[in-house]
Amino acid sequence: MTTRRSIPFGLMLQGAGSHMNAWRHPSNPPDASINLDFAIGIARKAEAAGITFAFVADGLYINEKSIPHFLNRFEPLTVLSALAVATKKIGLAGTISTSYSEPFTVARQLASLDAISGGRAGWNVVTTPLEGTAKNFGKAHPDHELRYEIADEYLDVVQGLWDSWDDDAFVRDRATGRFFDRDKLHTLDHHGRFFQVAGPLNIQRSPQGQPVIFQAGSSDTGIGLAGKYADAVFTHSPSLDETAAFTRRVKQSAIEHGRQAGDVKIFPGVGPIVGRTAAEAEDKYQAIRNLLTIDEALAYLGRYFDHHDFTQYALDAPFPELGELGRNSFRSTTDRIKADAKQKGLSLRETALAVATPRPNFIGTAEHVADELIRWHDAGAGDGFILGFPVQAQGVDDFVELVIPVLEARGRYSRDLPGATLRDHLGLPRKASRHAAPGASQEPAAEAHA
Amino acid sequence: MTTRRSIPFGLMLQGAGSHMNAWRHPSNPPDASINLDFAIGIARKAEAAGITFAFVADGLYINEKSIPHFLNRFEPLTVLSALAVATKKIGLAGTISTSYSEPFTVARQLASLDAISGGRAGWNVVTTPLEGTAKNFGKAHPDHELRYEIADEYLDVVQGLWDSWDDDAFVRDRATGRFFDRDKLHTLDHHGRFFQVAGPLNIQRSPQGQPVIFQAGSSDTGIGLAGKYADAVFTHSPSLDETAAFTRRVKQSAIEHGRQAGDVKIFPGVGPIVGRTAAEAEDKYQAIRNLLTIDEALAYLGRYFDHHDFTQYALDAPFPELGELGRNSFRSTTDRIKADAKQKGLSLRETALAVATPRPNFIGTAEHVADELIRWHDAGAGDGFILGFPVQAQGVDDFVELVIPVLEARGRYSRDLPGATLRDHLGLPRKASRHAAPGASQEPAAEAHA
């Protein structure tokens, strides 16, 4: 796991960036989350630089207090299909909820995206934590455990539908009039606890066997689901040690489900801020902090403390005493905020700004950031990284122009993607059909399509 | 309605064509229904020729007896999103069922397609006649009237979601940090018989106000739904008189719903077969007839007669006496088949081939086809036509190269699409928001975006 080799990177396509007010940053168009030319430009730049996949996150519920770029953004399947034509090699992954969709429809749309993109589709399976979502779909929001039970059956159905047709089922012999081989059609006929789905799917098998399954759950149940199904997992990256421990847990879960550690690739999310000097990187971070008004930062802080109104306190006085407030829902976060403020003697203003714009793990010169990424990677904190920049345009430019050349100089990056499909890019074998003879899964996609 | 003016045409994108064995025709790639390059090539050729929209039909259930190109085809939203990038002006419409989808999801995906395409999206609203569909979605298939009651409420919800944000709701003022104008946000809060949908939609209003609503129901209920909601209607074209009568009925229905006759455009489906001579056109028709084996034609015929096995009869003997057989479900069709065979003294072989490959209304030289189309149009049989060629590649080539020049010479066709959006192409005003001041609907899209 710690040999010296190329580090793969994915890239979040999240409009203006991960910072809640990234739209205000001068490097971005203010309408970035709904600007197709911007999305295409970023995806092409990433592709040219050898980034292995672009990733579109999603949500199904907003209200007027939502983060601005969540209010108005593309739906993942449509924008990914558009990007499939605008790009040639980069993988294209997006979020779809198993709690608020139909497996037949989703299996089909992802298979269609995979066909359109020549085998570059990935699906980030989420169960939707946000309870308000239920109000857009006229049903009760399932609780956490139930959501994961639904997701488990849902994935089984989708993967079954994806194997409806063997790879060579469509013979299309004009001379004889034989369009398909009946022996290579598999009708699912699923009768489960949550889903009844007859099948078959009305689209051929994927160029990569099946689209890639991404997963991001960090609870025990989420890790169990990832171990069972996921080809790739996103995770937070609070520290090297915690990320390495998470990596080991997911791989252990895969092994417990009869798979191998290498069958699931872990991608910690990172948002490097890079400067030509450490001071320049620090200036960029401060500029991002300043995208937020102090009122917005106070409101953001308030979300962790039961929507407590922080405007009642003096901004430049020490962080107020809050007693038990905030210990009900986000206890570990609010305990940390209180402790930090006390220990460092921070004012309310300083605390709110630091919470709303957390300092990234990776900040400094390109050499420093590259070396840190290599150090994490060599220590087993993931199999690659997914880049989620606080400010998209600046973040991508700096990473591509400054950090990638250093990684290349260190022999730890290649701009050449070896195969054609997302599974190829991730170093995963082509997915075998559940109806195939044993051993077929070891055949790489590039060979299977030669 | 009968002034001399340009006739608009749409084009079905249905893989190899409308004939069930079109994949066998040498002008098509055999994998046409799942071949993106073919779809892009056809769409671009149509766009260059001034065709106003491309249309992707759909179905949600197959079995091994399905028409071959239904077994393996793109899902509409994904392929239309891909075509949005591959084309610049042509409208992009597709079928989605209101019986097997969620209005929040569909409203959003269509709004996203509209944003991606710069205002070219259309939605063909279907209620899904095929009962087997229910087996892929684990629920009971609603009966005809219930399906239309669901569709009515569904459309109301979708159009309400599409008006969640006023056109100028997103101010994105970097200086002040104001992203949107709260007064221009409208939360739907729909509580109906079938749907509970809070909203708002998480995407801006459409460049064309709202995506275009297509509808194709021919029952009284279907015509009522079209009169209430549809911007455009597809219909069969059994004869000029029947098509003109249908056109009048839909426009009357629009008027009964407080709209104007011109608010809904009728597009009869036609599949011209064109030759440089009448004999060449006839040869092309015969070649299409011959794509079907006689066994396939007998099976196709049998579908109308309760899957009756016609292989038990002598092929070249007169069409057999069938008594009451076939009068249960497709009575008008089976009565006509029996009467035709008797009157024309047709054999079983001749009858089966004629039913499986019906002779088109428009067949002959380009001059003949163009003049017939003009005659229908001037007689009020629709506001334009939708082209559904039995064989896609040959059909498009012949129409573009042979018929369009004649229509141009007659002063009845223009390759120039006047505006930017599908509503512009159809001669429809930009759709006003339900929250807008009265009269705003008359503002054309091109001006609204100037």
Give the tens place of pLDDT for each residue, B31-46: 999 999 999 999 999 9
| Residue (of A33, A120, A44, A93) closest to A400 by Cα position | A44
Nearest to B39 by CA among B48, B27, B24, B29: B29
How many angstroms separate the CA of residue B178 from the nearest CA in chain A? 9
Q: With beta carbons under 8 A apart, name residues in chain A contacting B197.
A: 135-138
Where in the sequence is the domain holding A331, given as residue range(s)? Answer: 292-356
CA distance B285 to A196: 43
User: Do A376 and A300 share a structural domain?
Assistant: no
Task: Please say whether the beta carbons of B68 and B30 come within 8 A.
Answer: no
Tell whether A232 and A247 lie within a shared domain.
Answer: yes
10-residue mean pLDDT series, chain A (450 residues): 75 94 96 98 98 96 90 98 98 97 98 98 91 92 92 98 98 94 97 98 97 91 96 93 96 97 97 98 96 90 87 95 80 86 94 91 97 98 97 98 98 92 96 83 38
Q: Write the secondary structure of B38-107 as one string of H (helix), E (strand) and C (coil).
A: HHHHHHHHHHHCCCCEEEECCCCCCCCCCCHHHHCCCCHHHHHHHHHHHCCCCEEEEEEECCCCCHHHHH
Backbone phi, psi, residue B347, to 5°: -80, 170
Q: Would you call B136 and A198 a contact, using CB atoms and an 8 Å cutoff? A: yes
Apex CA B128: angle with CA B127 and CA B131, to 5°?
135
Residue A201 identity:
L
Q: Residue B2: inside a domain, yes or no?
A: no
Q: Which chain B positions have a beta carbon within 8 Å of A287's beta carbon? A: none
Give chain A's radius of gyration (CA, Å).
Answer: 23
pLDDT, one tens digit per residue, over B316-371 is 999 999 988 877 667 778 888 999 999 999 999 999 998 999 899 999 999 999 99
Half-sphere exposure of B367 (CA within 13 A, CB side): 3
Structural contact between residues B386 and B243, judged by C-beta atoms closer than 8 angstroms:
no
pLDDT number for residue B439: 57
Beta strands in A42-90 (DSSP E): 53-56
Compare all CA atoms of chain B with the CA of A205 and give the residue at the minimum distance.
Answer: B72
User: Are B208 and B316 found together in one domain?
Assistant: no
pLDDT at A188: 98
In a shared domain, residues B236 and B381? yes
Which is it for the CA torsion B25, B26, B30, B35, positive or negative?
A: negative
Looking at residue A140, its amino acid is A
Distance from the Cα of B183 to chain A's closest Cα (Å) equals: 11
Per the CB < 8 Å rule, is A75 touching B109? yes
The answer to whether the Cβ–Cβ distance between A82 and B116 falls below 8 Å is: yes
Selecting from B34, B85, B111 the residue whose C-beta is nearest the C-beta of A86 gives B85
CA B349 – CA B343 distance, rounded (Å)? 15
Mean pLDDT of chain B: 93
Minimal Cα–Cα distance from B22 to chain A, Å?
10
Q: What is the pLDDT at residue A447?
A: 32
Of A59, A78, A138, the CB nearest to B109: A78
Contacts of A19 in chain B (CB under 8 A): none
Rounded Cα distance between B391 and B284, Å, is 10
- Contact (CB, 8 A) for A444 and A36: no
Unique residue bearing structure tokens 């989808």 = B101
Nearest C-alpha in B relative to A84? B82
Final residue in a domain of this structure, among B336, B356, B376:
B356
Question: Could you tell me if A106 and A150 lie in one domain?
Answer: yes
Q: How far is A239 from chain B (nearest CA, A)?
A: 33
Same domain, A60 and A142: yes
Residues A365 and A350 in one domain: no
Q: In chain B, which residue's Cα lies nearest the Cα of A36?
A: B116
Chain B nearest C-alpha distance from A236 (Å) = 26
DSSP H/E element including B266: strand B265-270
User: Are A70 and B204 within 8 A, CB to CB?
Assistant: no
Residue B123 DSSP label: E
Q: Which of A270, A221, A223, A278 is nearest to A248 (CA)?
A: A223
Q: Cβ contact (<8 Å) for A115 and B74?
A: yes
- Give the CATH number, domain containing residue B238: 3.20.20.30
Q: What residues of B are in contact with residue A94 (Cβ under 8 Å)?
A: none
Residue A286 lies in a domain: no
Question: Are residues A298 and A268 part of one domain?
Answer: no
- Residue B4 domain-assigned (yes or no): no
Query: Are both A16 and A159 inside the same structural domain?
Result: yes
CA distance B217 to B220: 8
Contact B183, B147 (CB under 8 A): no
Radius of gyration from C-alpha coordinates of chain B? 23
Instruction: Produce one character per residue of B135-146: b if its CB has 16 or more CB atoms within 10 Å, e if not.
Output: bbbbeebbeeee
Q: Are the Cβ atoms of A101 and B102 closer than 8 angstroms?
A: yes
**B102 interaction partners in chain A (CB closer than 8 Å):** 100-101, 137
- Rounded to whole angstroms, the Cα distance separating A307 from A304 reads 7
SS3 B364: strand
- B chain contacts of residue A40, beta-carbon cutoff 8 Å: 85
Tokens encoding B129: 């006649």
Domain termination site, one of A313, A339, A356: A356
Report the residue from B80, B112, B200 with minimal CB separation from A74.
B112
**pLDDT score, position A440:** 53
The verdict on A151 and A232 lying in the same domain is yes
CB contact under 8 A, B177 and A296: yes
Measured distance CA(A51)–CA(A10) in Å, rounded: 6
Q: What is the pLDDT of residue A328?
A: 67
Cα separation, B348 vs B301, in Å, equals 10
What span, in angstroms and rounded, lies between the C-alpha atoms of A30 and A198?
Answer: 46
Give the model confidence (pLDDT) of B75-128 as tens digits.
999 999 999 999 999 999 999 999 999 999 999 999 999 999 999 999 999 998
- Residues A392-416 as b/e (b if ≥16 CB within 10 A, e otherwise) read bbbbbbbbbebbbebbeeeebbeee
Residues B308 and B439 in one domain: no
Residue B21 pLDDT > 90: yes
- Interface test with chain B among A63, A65, A73, A78, by most B beta carbons within 10 Å: A78
Query: Which residues from chain A sit within 8 angstroms of residue B101, using beta carbons?
Result: 102, 105
Shortest distance, CA B41 to any CA of chain A (angstroms): 13
* Residues of chain A neighbouring B289 (CB-CB closer than 8 A): none
Is there a contact between B100 and A100 if contact means CB atoms under 8 Å apart? no
Tell whether omega for the bond before B200 is within 30 degrees of 0, i.e. cis.
Answer: yes
Each as own residue / partner, the long-range contacts of residues B284-291 (CB below 8 Å, 24 or more positions apart, any chain) are B284/B394, B285/B357, B285/B359, B285/B360, B285/B363, B287/B25, B288/B19, B288/B22, B288/B25, B288/B357, B288/B390, B288/B391, B289/B353, B289/B356, B289/B357, B291/B19, B291/B21, B291/B22, B291/B24, B291/B25, B291/B357
d(CA B200, CA B195): 15
Please state whether beta strands A170-173 and A178-180 pair in parallel, antiparallel, or not at all (unpaired): antiparallel
pLDDT, one tens digit per residue, over B370-392 is 999 999 999 999 999 999 999 99
Does B82 sit within 8 Å of A203, measured CB to CB?
A: no
Domain closes at, from B313, B340, B356 = B356
Cα nearest neighbour of A40 on chain B:
B85
Q: Is residue B437 part of a domain?
A: yes
A30 with B174: Cβ contact below 8 A: yes
| A429 is a domain residue | yes
Please give the Cα distance from A396 to A399 (Å, whole number): 5
- Chain B nearest C-alpha distance from A1 (Å): 38
Burial class (CB in 10 A: 0-12, 13-18, 19+), B231: buried
In 3-state terms, what secondary structure has residue A173? Answer: strand
| % chain B with pLDDT above 70 | 96
Q: Please report residues of A whose CB lies closer than 8 A to that of B40.
A: 85
Residue A3 is assigned to a structural domain of this protein: no
From its phi and psi, is residue A269 left (phi > 0), alpha (psi between -120 and 50) or beta?
beta
A104 contacts in chain B (CB < 8 Å) = 60, 136-137
Complex confidence, ipTM: 0.93
Whether residue B326 is found in the same domain as residue B349: yes
- Measure A359 CA to nearest chain B CA, in Å: 22
**Number of structural domains, chain A?**
2
The residue of chain A nearest to residue B33, with distances taken between CA atoms, is A203
How far does the CA of residue B267 sit from the closest CA of chain A (Å)? 27
Average pLDDT over all residues of chain A: 93
For residue A184, is it within any domain? yes
CB contact under 8 A, B100 and A105: yes
Indicate whether A383 belongs to any domain. yes
Retrieve residue A431's tokens. Answer: 């997915």
Tell me which long-range contacts A237-240 makes (C-beta under 8 A, separation of at least 24). A237/A268, A237/A269, A237/A270, A237/A361, A237/A376, A237/A381, A237/A382, A237/A385, A239/A361, A240/A375, A240/A376, A240/A379, A240/A381
B112 vs A75, A170, A293: nearest CB: A75
* Interface contact flag, A71 B23, Cβ < 8 Å: no
User: Which amino acid, one-letter code, is at B21?
Assistant: N
Kindly state the tokens that stand for A288: 């991002």
**A202 with B115: Cβ contact below 8 A:** no
